[in-house]
Amino acid sequence: MNKVILSYEFLRMRRSMATISLFMFVILASSYSIWSGMAWQTSHQDSLSEFVEQIDKKGSEWRSDLEDIESGKSQSSPYVARPMDINFPAIHVTGPTSHLAIGMTEILPARLMISPRRNGLSMIEAYEFDNPMTLLFGRMDFVFFVTVIVPLLLIALNFDVIASDRARGLNRMLLSNPITESSIIANRMAARTGLLFVIILTVLSVGLYISNNLPFDTVIAWIFLITAYIVFWYGLIFLVVSKNKKGFSGLSNLVSLWLFFVLIIPAASNSITGYLYPQPSKLELLSDARSATSEATKQTAELTQQFLEDHPELTIGDDQVPGYYRALFLSNSMVKESTKPIVAEFTKSLDDREDMLDVLQYLSPTTILQRNLIAIAQTDSRSHALFIETASQHVDLVNDAVEDAVLTSNRISVSTFDQIPKFQDIWEATEKPNVTVIWPITFMLFLGLALISLTRRN
């Protein structure tokens, strides 16, 4: 009997122009989400590549000037090949599925300038925001399509799966056979949801296929997370449809549940974490940085003299080198020390907020799916915070390499410059945040299956 109901439901869908139009929309919307993500990723990568190319070109010219001075091919100048003019690019390289889950990447800086001239506050390069309306509503990537639009599509497909038959009395004819009404609803929903799932899985497979160097466990994680999410909504819709005799009554209840799980709970979770773990004052941070800069400028001569007394083995170089170099280097060092406590507070606040959101995500499967997919794509807040932290460590390495030369008005050697590690080498060796999807998948599957079981039993 179940096979008969499934076959009949597929026949009804083929004859319904509304259902066919809905599935055509699914194909177009899901395909557009893949294209939109790819277009954004291509533009983003081109911008980062151009930035790296420009900085590397300047770095090559700087090294060539240093090599010529060191070999005696050109005369030394107070302003040429100075260690304070060293620049290294730092870009945030996301995961292979970032075109499917853009996440925080479009609103957080993805390129930094590593230089002795910069400190933790000034190493962020100027970058352009996208259209403000796009940032407000979010870009149409595949994660947005699955988390926000797919539940609405499931509701549109299934809200009247039995109500119309009840109104016309057709369900009585079906119930004259050895089958329950819940089985009729479940089989009809399975046919409609199954076809939707096949379309989504097909488009997802295309999106994953065009990814570069995609690990197999990432593919499995994406498929199981989306499957568990659809199972949850299947169970929830199954429960509501079974309890409501009128289709539009069930529709209003389902839309209310969609608003609750997709919009209200995620917004409330962010508000709660922001209230419990507020960020330190940015004005205080900027004030401390300005005070440290001013103090270092006043004490440049004293700090330089103290440094030379602590390092008697060093000799003073060219007296014509502007004292501005030493003042800037010392002010950056003092800014780092003076702002270290408040920067640590920022870091702790972010960690506490993310830990709390890891707990609150279980209030809404939508939040579970979104947070885990962007974490896998390395486009989340944790990945960006790690990027900033790694860049700060690279700044420290560069400063350690040039400190003696800057404060004694000397140059570093070509070999010393070549020994300074590149940021990308450090970033590739940095351990990324671990993403565990077993519990989120299990939780969503449990909820969905529990709702199905509860509805069938009642």
pLDDT tens digit sequence for 329-375? 777 777 777 777 777 788 888 888 999 999 999 999 999 999 999 99
37 pLDDT higher than 50? yes
Segment 323-332 shows an average pLDDT of: 74
Q: Contact 90/114 with Cβ under 8 angstroms?
A: yes
With a cut of 50, say whether residue 295 has pLDDT above it.
yes
Instruction: Look at residue 129 and tell me whether its pLDDT is greater than 60.
Output: no
Which segment of 37-51, 91-105, 212-226, 332-346 scores lowest on mean pLDDT?
Answer: 332-346
- Percentage of the chain modeled with pLDDT above 70: 78
Look at 76-80, 230-234, 270-274 and tell me which has the smallest mean pLDDT.
76-80
For the stretch 262-283, pLDDT in tens is 999 999 999 999 888 887 666 6
Q: What mean pLDDT is predicted for residues 241-263?
A: 84
66 and 59 in contact (C-beta within 8 Å)?
Answer: no
The pairing of strands 88-91 and 111-114 is antiparallel
Q: pLDDT at residue 133 above 50? A: no
User: Quick check: 338 and 289 in contact, CB under 8 A?
Assistant: yes
What tokens were used for 455? Answer: 């509805």
pLDDT greater than 80 at residue 164: no
Q: What single-letter amino acid sits at 48?
A: L
The pLDDT of residue 128 is: 47
Contact 228, 448 (CB under 8 A): yes
Q: Are the C-beta atoms of 232 and 447 separated by less than 8 Å?
A: yes
Per-residue model confidence (pLDDT) at position 364: 94
Contact 171, 165 (CB under 8 A): yes
Poorest-pLDDT segment among 62-66, 182-186, 354-358 = 182-186
Q: Is 43 exposed, middle or buried (0-12, 13-18, 19+ CB in 10 A)?
A: exposed
- Smallest CA-to-CA distance from 440 within 265, 222, 190, 260 is with 222
Q: What is the pLDDT of residue 158?
A: 86
Report CA 266 to chain centroid distance, whole Å: 16
371-424 pLDDT tens trace = 999 999 999 989 988 998 899 889 889 988 888 887 777 788 889 889 999 999
Phi, psi of 115 (to 5 degrees): -160, 150
Q: Which pLDDT score is estimated for 289?
A: 62
Q: How far is CA 17 from CA 9, 20, 50, 251, in A?
A: 14, 5, 49, 20
Range of the domain at 350: 1-458
Which DSSP state fits 379?
Answer: -
With beta carbons less than 8 A apart as the criterion, state whether 417 and 86 touch. Answer: yes
pLDDT-derived band at 319, boundaries 50, 70, 90: low
Distance CA 117, CA 414 (A): 19
CA distance 387 to 89: 13
Domain count for the chain, please give it: 1
Residue 260 scores a pLDDT above 50: yes
pLDDT of residue 159: 83
Which 8-state DSSP code applies to residue 113?
A: E
User: 152 or 278: whose pLDDT is higher?
Assistant: 152
Residues 259 and 262: their CA atoms lie apart, in Å, by: 5
Q: Which amino acid is at 49?
A: S
pLDDT (0 to 100) of residue 119 = 72
Q: Encode 265-297: b = buried (16+ Cβ within 10 Å), e = exposed.
A: bbeebeeebeeebeeeeeeebeebbeebbeebe
Provide the pLDDT for residue 367.
95
What are the residues facing 95 on neighbouring strands? none
Report whether pLDDT(169) > 80. no
Q: Which range (8-22, 182-196, 211-225) has the least confidence? A: 8-22
Distances (CA, A) of 210 to 102, 130, 279, 452: 16, 25, 39, 36
Give the three-class secondary structure for 90. Answer: strand
